Amino acid sequence: MAQRIPGSSRRQFIQGAAAAVGAMSVAPGLMAQGAPVRVGYAMSRTGPWTGGAQVSQEPNYLLWAEQQNAGGGIDVKGQRRKIELISSDDRSDTETVVRTYEKLMGSDKVDLVLPPWGSNANFAVAPLANRFAYPFLAPTALSRRLAEMKLPYFFLLLQQPKPMCDALVDMFKANGVKSVAVIYVDDLFGLENYAALKVALAGTGIGIVQDTSYPAGVKDLSPTLRSIKDKNPDAFIGFTYPPDTILASKQSKEVGFNPKYFYASVGTAFQLYRNVMTPAGAEGVLGMGSWNAKSNPAAKAYFDAHTKKFAGKEPDRWASGACWAGLEILTSAVNKVGLDRKQIRDYVANTTHKTIMGDIKFAGSENVGTPGTVSQWQNGEFEVVWPRKLATAQLNPNKPAWR
């Protein structure tokens, strides 16, 4: 039997029901605003890419999320939301990288993505970033071909082969170098850097006395180094990955090859290189580097925070800075425009960004704000030595003997 509700009670019931319905309609919006920002990435934790990935990239992702969350979360247009990192081991395998990002962007539909490590992995996922319209700020991709693909959602933070090789050759010219020998890994990174070097050397009077490629995962470079030693070049250039950088350095010491200028690439800027070679053994070695804790106050604050969080593990003086700069840019974009990925892309593409690396701005995919640089180990620090306007120390033009 139905029960009749008195008039006053009926009005109160209707008002209460309306209020409940209103609360129910608002609640999902409130829940969405308070939900964590889901940030996905794949990273090498096993396999040959691990050394670079676990120095230059993943520690920065962890530090960034921790710092943002300690402040209540990332500022999304004025509202703080915690960051939830969703990540997995890509096993240093390109196919795994591609499958992981397809899932993160296609089915998981995370809010943001962070890039994988290295030129090869980024080359594989760059088209996916464009297809799924996710901004990628890549800190460890060094490839002119990536810039030439003209993918509007893909941004390269590192100085690319041309400006890096231009800076190196400019330094050589200014210091009277007449001959160089070159080794390079036989992949996208090595081939592109070697091609850029040849262009930079054209018309300078600096000759290449030997150029030798080698396969990824090489275990012995001593025959090549002995051959180069016999030609007595003023400078050695290695477009190398971290294991090869250390291998070439150790074996150069073993065979007694000690040119005035010894330049290697990825890994030279690592604390690991200084530790393995010892500070005295690393003294005078040149390589790809762009910053250190003396570059500016923000760089010092980042260096100190990284070293503290990871129990004395220092960021490298090249790509770690680019990685942190990319996270600074992404944070600023989310602050300004929220999580709309098209608006993030437009903000990144059309803004000059203040970062620990200095001003960064993009022409298409390429960072054109940061010039090419050369760094050198001096007294235990990887000092920026070229160009002079960015130098944190003067170039030592005569590498001491290996120790």
Whole-angstrom Cα distance, residue 46 to residue 193?
Answer: 26
Residue 24 has pLDDT above 50, yes or no: no
**By the 8 A CB rule, do 302 and 326 touch?**
no
**pTM of the predicted protein model:** 0.87
Tokens in use for 224? 């090549």
What class, spelled out in words, does domain 37-159+295-367 have in CATH? alpha beta
Residue 34: per-residue pLDDT: 80
Residue 11: per-residue pLDDT: 37
Tens digit of pLDDT for each residue in 333-350?
Answer: 999 999 999 999 999 999
Residue 192: per-residue pLDDT: 94
Residue 270: per-residue pLDDT: 96
Residue 23: per-residue pLDDT: 38
Tens digit of pLDDT for each residue in 103-151?
Answer: 999 999 999 999 999 989 999 999 999 999 999 999 999 888 888 999 9
371 alpha-carbon distance from chain centroid: 16
**By the 8 A CB rule, do 325 and 79 touch?**
no
Q: Is 161-294+373-390 in CATH node 3.40.50.2300?
A: yes
H/E element, 80: strand 79-81
Residue 2: per-residue pLDDT: 40
Helices (H), 186-340: 188-201, 222-231, 242-255, 271-277, 279-282, 297-309, 319-337
**Span of 16-20, 87-91, 250-254 with lowest mean pLDDT:** 16-20
Residue 30: per-residue pLDDT: 39
Q: What angle do CA 213, 278, 251 make, to 5 degrees?
A: 30
The fraction of the chain above a pLDDT of 90, given in percent, is: 88
Do the domains 161-294+373-390 and 37-159+295-367 match in fold? yes
H/E element, 14: helix 7-34
**By the 8 A CB rule, do 140 and 309 touch?**
no
Residue 112: per-residue pLDDT: 98
Sorted by where each begins, the domain ranges of the chain are: 37-159+295-367, 161-294+373-390
Tens digit of pLDDT for each residue in 214-263?
Answer: 998 899 999 999 999 999 999 999 999 999 999 999 999 999 999 999 99
Whole-angstrom Cα distance, residue 124 to residue 128?
Answer: 8
Residues 6+ apart with CB under 8 A from 91: 44, 45, 46, 47
**Span of 24-38, 77-91, 175-189 with lowest mean pLDDT:** 24-38
Residue 144: per-residue pLDDT: 85
Classify the phi-psi angles of 278: left when phi > 0, otherwise alpha if psi is within -120 to 50, otherwise beta.
Answer: left
Place 6 in a pLDDT band, splitting at 50, 70 and 90: very low
**Mean of the per-residue pLDDT values of the chain:** 92
Tens digit of pLDDT for each residue in 166-223?
Answer: 999 999 999 999 999 999 999 989 999 999 999 999 999 999 999 999 998 899 999 9
Residue 293 has pLDDT above 80, yes or no: yes
Residues β-bridged to residue 42: 88
